Amino acid sequence: MTSPHSAVDLLHEMGARPGEPLNRCTFVQVGGPAEWFLAVDRREALVEAVRAARRSQLGLTVLGAGSNVLIRDGGLRGLVIKNDTRGCRQIDETLIEVDSGVRFAALARSTARAGLSGLEWAAGIPGAIGGGLPTNAGAYGSELCDVLVSVQALNRAGETVTLDAADLGLSYRDSRVRSGDLQGCIVTALTLQLERGDVAASEREIDRVESLRKANAPVGPSLGSTFRNPSVGPTAGERIEQAGLKGERIGSAQVSERHANYIQNVDVPNARAADFLALIARVQDRVASHSGIRLEPEIAVIGEESSNG
Ligand SMILES: Cc1cc2nc3c(=O)[nH]c(=O)nc-3n(C[C@H](O)[C@H](O)[C@H](O)COP(=O)(O)OP(=O)(O)OC[C@H]3O[C@@H](n4cnc5c(N)ncnc54)[C@H](O)[C@@H]3O)c2cc1C
Please name which of 55, 57, 48 lies closest in space to residue 78, comparing C-alpha atoms.
Answer: 57
Give me the pLDDT at residue 8, please. 82
Give me the pLDDT at residue 309, please. 56
Which tens digits make up the pLDDT trace of 106-154? 999 999 999 999 999 999 999 999 999 999 999 999 999 999 999 999 9
Read off the pTM: 0.96
Which tens digits make up the pLDDT trace of 73-90? 999 999 999 999 999 999
- How many angstroms does the Cα of residue 4 sit away from the middle of ligand 1? 31
Alpha helices in the chain (DSSP H): 5-14, 43-55, 104-113, 129-132, 176-179, 199-216, 236-242, 273-291
Task: Choose, from 173, 178, 228, 272, the residue flagged as catalytic.
Answer: 173
Please name which of 81, 119, 123, 127 lies closest in space to residue 103, comparing C-alpha atoms.
Answer: 127
Please calculate the CA angle 89-91-97 and round it to the nearest 5 degrees. Answer: 45
Task: Choose, from 67, 222, 225, 256, the residue flagged as catalytic.
Answer: 225
Cα Rg, the chain, nearest whole Å: 20
Check whether domain 218-299 has CATH 3.90.78.10, yes or no: yes
Check whether domain 10-83 has CATH 3.30.43.10, yes or no: yes
**CATH assignment of 88-214, given 3.40.50.1370, 3.40.50.720, 3.30.465.10, 3.40.50.300?**
3.30.465.10
Please name which of 80, 34, 42, 48 lies closest in space to residue 61, comparing C-alpha atoms.
Answer: 80
Domain boundaries of the chain, sorted by first residue: 10-83, 88-214, 218-299
**For residue 1, pLDDT beyond 80:** no
- How many angstroms does the Cα of residue 103 sit away from the middle of ligand 1? 10
Which tens digits make up the pLDDT trace of 200-250? 999 999 999 999 999 999 999 999 999 999 999 999 999 999 999 999 999
By CB neighbour count within 10 A (0-12 exposed, 13-18 middle, 19+ buried), where does 157 fall? exposed
Please name which of 82, 120, 86 lies closest in space to residue 100, comparing C-alpha atoms.
Answer: 86
Which tens digits make up the pLDDT trace of 174-191? 999 999 999 999 999 999
